[in-house]
Amino acid sequence: MKRKQFILTLVVLAALVALVVWGRDSIHFNFGVFRSQLALADWRRIAVGVACIYLGYVFRSVRWALLIKHNKKVPPLSLLSTQVIGFTAVALIGRVADLVRPYLVAKKADLPLSTQIAVYIVERLCDFGSMGLMFSAAILFAAQGSLPHPEIVRKAGGSALVLTLGGGLFLIVVRLTGNAVAVAMERAFGVVSKKLGHAVGQRIGAFRTGLDTMRTFSDFCVTAALSLGMWCLIFLAYLETSRAFIASPPLASMTLAKCMLLLAFSGVASVFQLPVLGWFTQIGAVAAALSGFFGASPEAATACAATLLLVTFLSIVPVGLIWAQFEHVNLRKVAAESEHAGEELAVAEAAESTE
């Protein structure tokens, strides 16, 4: 895993160097204008954005506590530290630290790691579903002519809605007849590759285990409400931060639909998050979207993209580092332990499936 991450880091670094060499002559960037965009920004709006992100972590803690209540009841805010420290690890170490949160919850609540990875899967599904619904609604109901490249964007919104509804229907089927679906999919993919069939069957089994955390319709409704509420807070953070750049008319007049499109761009850019280096790739991708799609100047787009990363992703790092000290958590150590534990669990599940 570390070797793959090292190779990927080198590839991305080479791409960044090539981009800088190309852009040095192709793009005229004025650092004085960049600094003035930051100086003229409305930092009260940016502070509101940070507050929204912080409140979102409270929603995450409450949601996780709800999802494990059938295994063990814990106070809704007792898992707040695991969320804050976990996302701090991802910000500083990269996506390889994704399992830190379920690992810390498993230790704090004294539950098997497998159950918390199942909860993590459900959490991710809820995030994707909430994001898909919000994106589709914002795009499909946007005023005529209010979006750049409206034909492409509306097709993307329609596709996102179809995928979200189709995914929801698939999850309902898995929830009701999970074992049968796992066996059927394992046999179907097993025709191509027995190993692939086992992997697909295991994944569906993990989905089924995770979905068992929502045993009643009220569980589903509360989880969905918390997920949508959290993503509304994240969306508001993006909107307030973008509108804070009052010296740039395209950013100061950011609409709801455009901001939803920006949030989608940022989400895609953050999928392959590398330690530190990933911050710059994300800034570059979001800045390119702000400049190319919304017409902001390169300086304003870069200033906004960097501030968005600071507000939505890095603002929790100081709190996370302090909290980790109080809880005696070493981020690198716990990231390595969680990765190793996840690999061991995957090997054990694979061995069980072949017996």
pLDDT at 176 over 60: yes
Report the distance separating Cα 33 and Cα 45, nearest Å.
Answer: 20
Report the distance separating Cα 234 and Cα 54, nearest Å.
Answer: 10
Q: In this predicted structure, what is the pLDDT of residue 97?
A: 83
3-state secondary structure of 28: coil
Query: Is 21 inside any structural domain?
Result: no
**Comparing 307 with 197, which gets the higher pLDDT?**
307
Query: Is 159 inside any structural domain?
Result: yes
Query: Is 327 inside any structural domain?
Result: yes
Query: Is 206 inside any structural domain?
Result: yes
Per-residue pLDDT, averaged over 317-335, amounts to 93
Query: Is 98 inside any structural domain?
Result: yes
Q: What interhelical angle do 113-140 and 217-243 show, nearest 10?
A: 60
Q: In this predicted structure, what is the pLDDT of residue 12?
A: 53
Query: Is 3 inside any structural domain?
Result: no
What pLDDT band is residue 279 in, cutting at 50, 70 and 90?
confident
| Structural domain total, the chain | 1
Q: In this predicted structure, what is the pLDDT of residue 329?
A: 92
Query: Is 24 inside any structural domain?
Result: no
Q: In this predicted structure, what is the pLDDT of residue 206?
A: 67
Report the distance separating Cα 43 and Cα 37, nearest Å.
Answer: 11
Q: In this predicted structure, what is the pLDDT of residue 1?
A: 46
Query: Is 13 inside any structural domain?
Result: no
Q: In this predicted structure, what is the pLDDT of residue 289?
A: 85
Nearest-5° angle of CA 60, CA 61, CA 67? 90
pTM listed for this prediction: 0.82
Give the HSE-up count for residue 311: Cα atoms under 13 Å, Cβ half-sphere.
30
Report the distance separating Cα 192 and Cα 111, nearest Å.
Answer: 37
pLDDT at 322 over 90: yes
State the residue range of the domain holding 305.
Answer: 44-354
pLDDT tens-place string over residues 86-145: 999 998 888 778 899 999 999 999 988 888 888 888 888 888 888 888 888 777 776 666
Per-residue pLDDT, averaged over 69-84, amounts to 91
